Amino acid sequence: MVPLWMFLVVSAALFSTGLYGVLARRNAIAILMSIELMLNAALINIVAFWRYQAPENVGGQVFAAFVFVVAAAETAVGLALIILIYRRHQSVIAEDVNVLKW
Amino acid sequence: MTWEALVFLIFSVITLGSGALVVTTRNLFHAALYLMLSLFGVAGLFVLLTAPFLAGVEIVVYIGAIAILIIFAIMLTPQVMQIPHLRSNQWIAALVAAALFFLMLVSVLTPLAEELGVDNWSAGFTQDDPADVPADTLTTLGESLVDPDLYVLPFEVASVLLMAALVGAAMMVRPEEPEPRRSEPAPVVEPGAEQATTGGD
Amino acid sequence: MTDVLLDIGFSHDLAVLIAKLVGVVVVASFGLVWTLFGIWLERKIAGRFQDRLGPNRVGPFGVLQSLPDAVKIVLKEDIIPTGADKWVFNIAPVLSVFSVLLAWVVVPFAFGWTGSDLSIGVLYLVAVGSLGEIAVLMAGWSSNNKFALLGAFRGVAQLISYEIPMVLALLVPVLLSGSMSLQGIVQQQHIMYFIAVPMTFVIFFISSLAEMGRAPFDLLEAESELVAGYMTEYSGMKFGMFYVGEFLHAFTFSVLAAIFFLGGWKGPFAEDVPFLGLIYLMIKAMFAYFAMMWIRMTFPRVRIDQMLAFNWKFLVPLSLGNLLVVAFLWKLVPDTNAINSFGDAVVPTLVLLVANGLMAAGLLVYLRGEGLRERERVQARLVAVDPAVTAGSGD
């Protein structure tokens, strides 16, 4: 198989892509999508470490399964918030939502 | 090059390429489709890592549910299609930050660290011949999720979290009926919003 | 197959690869060729239902009718509407057929005849099915047409909602057989699961009717409301691909119903002569398919709110309860791994059957009560609107 660090590099690249998206995109939904990319990078890491370091221990897969649960919950609540914000402000631009700033 | 390396290359190119398109594409609907493609690549990597169950769950949960939810949200918030400025004004800073972060991770995770003369604590990462996965991982996974000695508590907590998120999300976007309407209910967006005023019938 | 290739002089890896490729081509073209025949069969039977002859001009009994139809559809002009999103518009029909054909990978045709006996077969089927939703969404969005978009919205709402009872119903055979591989599920069915858990079969059947978008759940393309739903703007072969995908979807689901609940390829001598298994499977699948056609021909289309309410308020709780009951009863069986023959399976099957009967009886009593209450409510509303309507003549 390919060495472990290759998976880790792919995961790091995916995470950095997501990081760039979170920092640079203005649309809240796009930011949410970038967060999904980052979560998936973490998932790749978890599964790769499980495979290479402790394949006999099922804990790695369980951990990954919990990440799925968290991702689903996060998306549901995040999108509900975005739609709520859209109803209030007629906008999904993250910078426009600044009521709490002052 | 072994076939595993080839498959790895294909799936990582799919994942990273469409991941990059997710954060750069102007059209959000396309971005969501690229997100699906990217997650499909991740599922492929899981198969390569002999975790077929997780690959299946990845497709069901991410592509079948989360990405479709995102597309619905995109369609319910129409003006997202015509944003004048795609990126915030500190996008260069964001690019630099992301690149630096990536370089940092790479230098730590790869054999590069050894080349630079750092301690070889990353030696384990060069391992390329892991032990075999036990044959019935799926059964073990299922049993350990409901085993009181192992993961039953986290499992139940996770299901409560999911339930709470579900109820919470449904409560938040519930239409507020008693009050006078402060805004129009989000109209259904016309695809290709530029022509939305003239075309569309 | 592999042995022959090895004899010719291919290396082992190459021989395996070629054998797999040939398998892919055979399975995929089996599905597509079957479509040509199946469409004729469906039209013929639909004709009989509606007291007419159906296609009868081309070939004996019109068997070859699909061929000229296919030629015609290929020759039609391929129109891409102005303002359409070209790439997405073109990929959607391909994805639609693709998602159905992928399901055939795990179908066990006979003893030992499987494309790939995945250990996560059932999960794979669900995952592949979710690709179809994306095809619908892509087609509807990219067409730049409000009917298409509305159709896609409805379609995806329907597909996602009915996926839940379907998966919950699929969990029952998985539970009973202790395996997620389709071949394993078939091999454990010493007695058809249809006999042990008829309720689950009905739930699966109803939700798969909705999943494949057939009447009475064909709201994705309700002609009278939405022109043709998400495929309004498609013409020529792209429409043809949607059509083929939809047809094949229906047949795939009847094959799956046969596998999960009717014993798949199991039958007398099926283990010795694999070809017999294929015939048994097809006969069982045709039974299921005929039932689907029957429903399609005789039921009127439901309304969108009725459909979603039926799913969320009735089918989902029912399938959850059903799963709970079956799981509880199955836990009472002393050693589920020791069920290896017809004789071992009799007692648990009977227990499950009785439990299902009790559940069905309770359900019917409840539904009758609900129906009576609903009738009173409608009656009251009618009287409130028009006092001239007296009780007893409220239609």
Q: Following DSSP, what letter does each residue of C63-116 receive, concatenated?
A: GGGHHHHHHHHHHS-----TT--HHHHHHHHHHHHHHHHHHGGG-EEETTEES-
Token digits for C243?
A: 């059509």
A82·B73 Cβ contact <8 A: yes
How far apart are the C-alpha atoms of C181 and C107, rounded to whole Å? 10
Interface of A with B in 14-73 (CB under 8 A): 14-21, 23-27, 29-30, 32-34, 36-37, 40, 43-44, 47-48, 50-53, 55-56, 58-59, 61-62, 64-66, 68-73
Please count the CA atoms within 13 angstroms of the CA of B97 that sit on its side-chain side.
13
How far apart are the C-alpha atoms of C372 and A6, rounded to whole Å? 66
* Residue B1 buriedness (CB in 10 A; 0-12 / 13-18 / 19+): exposed
Q: What are phi and psi of B107, to 5 degrees?
A: -65, -30
**Buried b / exposed e along B48-65 (16+ C-beta atoms within 10 A):** bbbbbbbbbbbbbbbbbb
- Once rounded to an integer, what is the mean pLDDT over residues C218-245? 73
Of residues B109 and B58, the one with the higher pLDDT is B58
Of residues B30 and C79, the one with the higher pLDDT is B30
User: C360-390: per-residue pLDDT in tens?
Assistant: 888 889 889 988 988 888 888 888 777 666 5
pLDDT of B13 reads 92
Token digits for A25?
A: 């995109």
Handedness of CA C252, C253, C259, C263 (dihedral sign): negative
Of residues B69 and C230, the one with the higher pLDDT is B69
pLDDT of B38 reads 92
The answer to which of B6-15, B77-86, C275-284 has the lowest mean pLDDT is B77-86
How far apart are the C-alpha atoms of B150 and B148, rounded to whole Å? 6
CB contacts, 8 Å: C177 with chain B: none
How far apart are the C-alpha atoms of C271 and C187, rounded to whole Å? 10
SS3 B197: coil
pLDDT of B82 reads 55
Cβ-nearest to C134 among B57, B63, B190: B63
DSSP strand pairing (C113-114 vs C108-110): antiparallel
Report residue B5's pLDDT band, with 50, 70 and 90 as the boundaries: confident
Interchain contact A/C (3 or more Cβ pairs less than 8 Å): no
Report residue B121's pLDDT band, with 50, 70 and 90 as the boundaries: low
How far apart are the C-alpha atoms of C276 and C182, rounded to whole Å? 18
- Once rounded to an integer, what is the mean pLDDT over residues C305-313? 83
The answer to which of B187-196, C261-270, C324-333 has the lowest mean pLDDT is B187-196
Report residue B160's pLDDT band, with 50, 70 and 90 as the boundaries: very high
Q: Residue written as tokens 């990536």?
A: B102
Q: Residue written as tokens 């299901």?
A: B159
Top mean-pLDDT range of B4-8, C117-121, C388-392 = B4-8
How far apart are the C-alpha atoms of A15 and A36, rounded to whole Å? 10
Of residues A80 and B175, the one with the higher pLDDT is A80
The answer to which of B115-124, B187-196, C304-313, C381-390 has the lowest mean pLDDT is B187-196
> For residue C113, what are the β-bridge partners?
C110
**Buried b / exposed e along C237-274 (16+ C-beta atoms within 10 A):** bbbbbbbbbbbbbbbbbbbbbbbbbbbbbbeeebeeee
Report residue B197's pLDDT band, with 50, 70 and 90 as the boundaries: very low
8 Å CB contact between C70 and C238: no
8 Å CB contact between B48 and B8: yes
Reply yes or no on whether the pLDDT at B151 is more than 50: yes
The answer to which of B150-159, C53-62, C212-221 has the lowest mean pLDDT is C212-221
CB contacts, 8 Å: A77 with chain B: 165, 168-169, 172
* Residue C93 buriedness (CB in 10 A; 0-12 / 13-18 / 19+): buried
User: C169-209: per-residue pLDDT in tens?
Assistant: 988 888 888 788 888 888 888 778 888 888 888 889 888 88
**For residue C9, what is the DSSP state?**
T
- Once rounded to an integer, what is the mean pLDDT over residues C219-242? 72
Top mean-pLDDT range of C156-165, C218-227, C381-390 = C156-165
How far apart are the C-alpha atoms of C216 and C221, rounded to whole Å? 11
B82 touches chain A (CB under 8 A): no
Q: What percent of chain C has a predicted confidence (pLDDT) above 90?
A: 0
Q: Residue written as tokens 């339930």?
A: B163
Please count the CA atoms within 13 angstroms of the CA of B110 that sit on its side-chain side.
17
CB contacts, 8 Å: C124 with chain B: 56
B25 touches chain A (CB under 8 A): no
- Once rounded to an integer, what is the mean pLDDT over residues C323-351? 77
Rg of chain B over all Cα atoms, to the nearest angstrom: 23
A13 touches chain B (CB under 8 A): yes
Q: Is the pTM of this model over 0.85?
A: no
Phi-psi region of C392 (alpha: psi -120 to 50; beta: other; left: phi over 0): left
SS3 B133: coil
Query: What distance in Å separates residue B108's CA from the closest CA in chain C?
Result: 36
Reply yes or no on whether the pLDDT at B152 is more than 70: yes
Report residue B198's pLDDT band, with 50, 70 and 90 as the boundaries: very low
Q: Closest Cα to residue C166, out of C335, C376, C350, C318? A: C318
The answer to which of C134-143, C158-167, C218-227 has the lowest mean pLDDT is C218-227
Q: Closest Cα to residue C298, out of C127, C40, C114, C45? A: C45
- CA dist B20 to A37, B75, C85, C96, Å? 10, 22, 21, 26
pLDDT of C394 reads 45
A83·B77 Cβ contact <8 A: yes
8 Å CB contact between B145 and B151: yes
- Once rounded to an integer, what is the mean pLDDT over residues C9-29? 77
Positions in chain A whose pLDDT score sits under 70: 102
- CA dist B188 to B12, C91, C147, Å? 36, 23, 11
User: C28-56: per-residue pLDDT in tens?
Assistant: 787 778 888 888 888 888 888 888 887 77
CB contacts, 8 Å: B101 with chain A: 15-16, 19
Q: Closest Cα to residue B141, out of C198, A56, C232? A: A56
pLDDT of A91 reads 75
B65 touches chain C (CB under 8 A): yes
- What mean pLDDT, rounded, does chain C reach? 80
Sequence letter at residue C75: L
Q: Residue written as tokens 């009967």?
A: C357
Q: What percent of chain B has a predicted confidence (pLDDT) above 70?
A: 70
- CA dist B74 to B32, B69, C266, C334, Å? 9, 9, 48, 52
Chains near C (3 or more Cβ pairs under 8 Å): B
Reply yes or no on whether the pLDDT at B199 is more than 50: no
The answer to which of B43-47, C167-171, C314-318, C384-388 has the lowest mean pLDDT is C384-388
How far apart are the C-alpha atoms of C327 and C152, rounded to whole Å? 36
Handedness of CA B109, B114, B118, B124 (dihedral sign): positive
CB contacts, 8 Å: C136 with chain B: none
pLDDT of C302 reads 80
Reply yes or no on whether the pLDDT at B83 is more than 60: no
- Once rounded to an integer, what is the mean pLDDT over residues B122-146? 73
B47 touches chain C (CB under 8 A): no
- What mean pLDDT, rounded, does chain B reach? 76
How far apart are the C-alpha atoms of A31 and B152, rounded to whole Å? 33
8 Å CB contact between B173 and A84: yes
Of residues B151 and B177, the one with the higher pLDDT is B151
Report residue B201's pLDDT band, with 50, 70 and 90 as the boundaries: very low
B107 touches chain A (CB under 8 A): no
pLDDT of B17 reads 92
C143·B75 Cβ contact <8 A: no
